[in-house]
Amino acid sequence: MNRRFENRLTIVWLALSAITLGQLALGERAPLTPNAIVTASAVIIALVKVRVIVREFMEVRHAPALLGRATDLWLVATGVSLLGSYFVGRLAWG
Amino acid sequence: MTTVAGAGPRETGTGRQPATGTIPHERPVPGQPDMWIFVLFEAFVFTSYFTVYVIRRTQNADLFLQSQGQLDLRVGIFNTLVLLVSSWCIARCVQAARDGEFAAALNNIYLTMLFGLVFLVSKVLEWTAKIEHGFSFTSDEFFSFYYFLTAIHFLHLLIGFVFLGVAVHQIRTPARRSQELIETCATYWHTIDFLWVLIFALLYVMR
């Protein structure tokens, strides 16, 4: 197997795993009370991890730009939808 | 065409191109384009599920937080790490197949299956423990979402094993080998992984 590409995959996997373990610290330290910072961090970190998976593991970084834009559009739409719903919901019902 | 170091060109159909150790800087869509249409469709469908969950959660914050406290964050972390390993293995499988190293590709796809199976068993054990403690689908709204989101993801994972089986068959049968089809199967498996990353953040971490 191409050593350089294999190393890149391994670095990506290690980085994703390290971020996941970071979420353990985030989740264990945050008390079970509404917390906008924890929620925003959780969503943004998850979206960053998803983008790394899409770009690196799914090889979208080498794909036609249209596919990269489509996946980024979904990520942005998801982020806006989740964080927008959370903050608007807290203003309305919180 | 401009190339960057990293991987060899893919095979298409039954023809096999020689591995050169390079990947075209911009090449066709990885796998079959139809799979990407399906992936994007599924991604938007899950986004709608997640949005409804967040809206309902903000309307019943105390109930959702109280029930979320019944979940074990460490189990969620373990499941996430297991799926990340499986994604890494299937990515290595694609690369090995591209380089013509089919024994390595098979080993990596078997590892992908193993970690997928670990996730399935872990999820069943988690569900069993929750039900034994009295938290079922009808206990409250949080657990309705919890079982719905994890079960629909579980179903996708089961379908993923069919794709992995197709990839194994492709690799084991020289006359049928298609790099495009192997990449298509891998694309589906990675989708299961990234959907779980979002489910984990919303069910286990958010407040």
- In this prediction, residue A28 carries a pLDDT of 81
For tokens 């799979």, name the residue. Answer: B35
Distance from CA of B35 to the nearest CA of A (A): 12
DSSP class of residue B31 equals S
Predicted pLDDT at B25: 55
For A25-77, write each residue's pLDDT tens digit: 888 888 888 899 999 999 999 999 999 999 999 999 999 999 999 999 999 99
Residue B6 pLDDT > 70: no
What is the pLDDT, as a whole number, of residue B20?
Answer: 43
Q: Per the structure block, which two tokens stand in for B87? A: 């994604």
Integer Cα distance of A8 and B92 in angstroms: 10
pLDDT of residue B174: 87
DSSP run (H or E) holding B34: helix B33-59
Dist CA B151 CA B156 (whole Å): 9
Residues of B in contact with A77 (CB under 8 A): 44, 47
Its CATH class, for the domain covering B29-205, is: mainly alpha
Choose among B51, B65, B101: nearest Cβ to A85.
B51
- The span from the CA of B58 to the CA of B60, in Å, is 6
CA B94 vs CA A34, B23, B37, B39, B108: distances in Å: 43, 13, 20, 18, 9
Rounded CA-CA distance A38/B47 in Å is 20
pLDDT digits (tens, 9 = 90+) for B39-57: 999 999 999 999 999 999 9
Tens of pLDDT, residue by residue over B10-39, are 444 443 443 344 555 557 888 899 999 999
Please report, for chain B, the start and end positions of each structural domain, with discontinuous segments joined by +: 29-205
B100-123 burial code (b ≥16 CB/10 A, e <16): bbbebbbebbebbbebbebbbeeb
| pLDDT on residue B16 | 40
Determine contact, residues B191/B71, Cβ cutoff 8 Å.
no
CB-based burial, B128-140: b 16+ in 10 Å, e otherwise: eebeeeebeeebb
Give the gap in angstroms from C-alpha B1 to the nearest C-alpha of chain A.
Answer: 13
Residue in B58, B87, B202 nearest the CB of A94:
B58
All residues of chain A having their beta carbon less than 8 Å from the beta carbon of residue B44 are 74, 77
pLDDT exceeds 70 at position B164: yes
Identify the pLDDT of residue A2. Answer: 75
